């Protein structure tokens, strides 16, 4: 999750101001913030931390200067660190622990399923973003294939 975020930082700041093609976001910056909020949301649930307030995250992002991506990408990096901490320290059997995901509707899942959801959600959105940026003429100077990357070596 976080490694792709770090590589995407190399895009010009103007890439974040492009329209996202998503009805709820005015520009890519908000699309990415929403994406990172989901990463943080599931990391907090799995670790048993306070739930993430997506609107508060969005307000924090909007407070920062348009060209400053540090506060935006710090959300993903923090979530990634939390997942790593959980995966390194989870007690035997903890992956099967079922958690209520949403207080607004009946929805529960195991920690294993929540991590899988966070990973697939992240991959789908990075694929959307990378395709969009290529279509807009922005080069993608990072390896897109997991097998070809340095991950897990």
| Highest mean predicted confidence (pLDDT) among 19-28, 38-47, 121-130, 132-141 | 38-47
| Structural domains counted in the chain | 1
- The candidate with the shortest Cα–Cα distance to 73, out of 122, 33, 132, is 33
Angle value at C-alpha 46, between 122 and 88, nearest 5 degrees: 90
- Residue 135 and residue 139: Cα distance in Å, rounded? 9
Lowest average pLDDT, out of 55-59, 60-64, 127-131, goes to 60-64
Lowest average pLDDT, out of 76-80, 123-127, 146-150, goes to 146-150
Residue 11 lies in a domain: yes
E strand segments, 53-121:
98-100, 108-110
Arithmetic mean of pLDDT over the chain: 77
> In terms of residue numbers, what domain contains 124?
2-143
pLDDT at position 130, please?
A: 78
Is beta strand 98-100 parallel, antiparallel or unpaired with respect to 108-110? antiparallel
Give the burial string for 96-113 (b: 16+ CB within 10 Å, else e).
Answer: eeeeebeeeeeeebebee
Q: Is the pLDDT of residue 135 over 70?
A: yes
- Residue 40 and residue 93: Cα distance in Å, rounded? 23
CATH code of the domain containing 135 = 1.20.120.450
Burial of 137 (0-12, 13-18, 19+ CB in 10 A): exposed
- Is residue 46 classed as helix, strand or coil in its secondary structure? helix
Q: Higher pLDDT residue, 25 or 50?
A: 50
Residue 149 lies in a domain: no
Residue 130 lies in a domain: yes
Residue 35 lies in a domain: yes
């Amino acid at each position: 999750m976080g490694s792709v975020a770090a590589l995407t930082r190399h895009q010009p700041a103007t890439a974040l101001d492009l329209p996202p093609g998503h009805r709820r976001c005015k520009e890519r910056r908000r699309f990415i913030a929403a994406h990172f909020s989901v990463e943080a949301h599931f990391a907090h649930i799995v670790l048993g931390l306070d739930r993430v307030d997506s609107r508060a995250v969005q307000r924090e992002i909007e407070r920062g200067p348009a060209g400053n991506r540090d506060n935006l990408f710090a959300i993903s990096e923090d979530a990634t660190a939390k997942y790593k901490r959980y995966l390194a320290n989870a007690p035997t059997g903890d992956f099967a622990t079922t958690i209520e995901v949403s207080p607004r509707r009946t929805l529960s899942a195991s920690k294993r399923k929540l991590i899988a959801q966070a990973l697939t959600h992240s991959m789908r959105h990075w694929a959307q973003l990378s395709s969009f940026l290529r279509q807009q003429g922005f080069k993608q100077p990072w390896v897109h294939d997991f097998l070809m990357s340095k991950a897990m070596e």
